[in-house]
Amino acid sequence: MAKASISATDIAVYHHLNCDLYLWNTYNEPLALKDPQEISELCQAQWHRGEEWESTLFTWLDKSNLLLRVPPMPMEEDVLLENILADDREHFFIAGLCFWPPHNRLAERFEAVGNRPVNFGLAKPDLVEVVRRENKIVWKVIDAKASKAVKVCHVP
């Protein structure tokens, strides 16, 4: 049975590997589940390093009064907007956010260019950066990585 959805992590790996076949296999091939005891010590160490980096980053943001934590459950766009509007900071980051993509609107856009729609999975960004500019809210997704080669978020 196929996975039938693509996550943000799948897309990040696709871009990192620059491999169309990886993306196709992710969407179309059955998942090969690994026994947790088969995971190498190197993979476990890399995972632990990533967890430590994320913890350090979130602690720094929190101490700098730049972090808004929300419950890690799927959030509707109107609830997210209420949370953003209720916060009076000009610049901050949201952690814990997860949401479903707008499947209907995405399907329309795929159809408009003659492609079959792709089902995206539940989005769980590490952080969403929010900046208020000229009576507008500008936001971007931040995927905080421990690796220096792919890190997009740096703590001074």
Q: If DSSP states are collapsed to H, E and C, what string results for 40-80?
A: CHHHHHHHHHHHHHHHHHHHHHHHCCCEEECCCCECCHHHH
Q: Rounded to 5 degrees, what angle do the CA atoms 102, 67, 148 make?
A: 85
Residue 36 DSSP code: G
| Model confidence pLDDT, tens digit, residues 97-126 | 998 888 888 889 999 999 888 878 888 888
DSSP codes, 96-155: S-BB---HHHHHHHHHHTT-----B--B--SEEEEEEETTEEEEEEE---S-TTT-----
Residue of 59 and 1 predicted with greater confidence: 59
Residue 153's pLDDT is 43
Q: Where are the domains of the chain?
A: 1-31, 42-156
Is the model's pLDDT at 50 over the cut of 80? no
Residue 147's pLDDT is 55
pTM comes to 0.65
Q: How far apart are CA 4 and CA 30, in angstroms?
A: 9
Q: Give the mean model confidence (pLDDT) for residues 18-38.
A: 63
Whether the CB-CB separation of 123 and 8 falls below 8 Å is answered with: yes
| Closest to 69 measured CA to CA, from 78, 77, 59 | 59
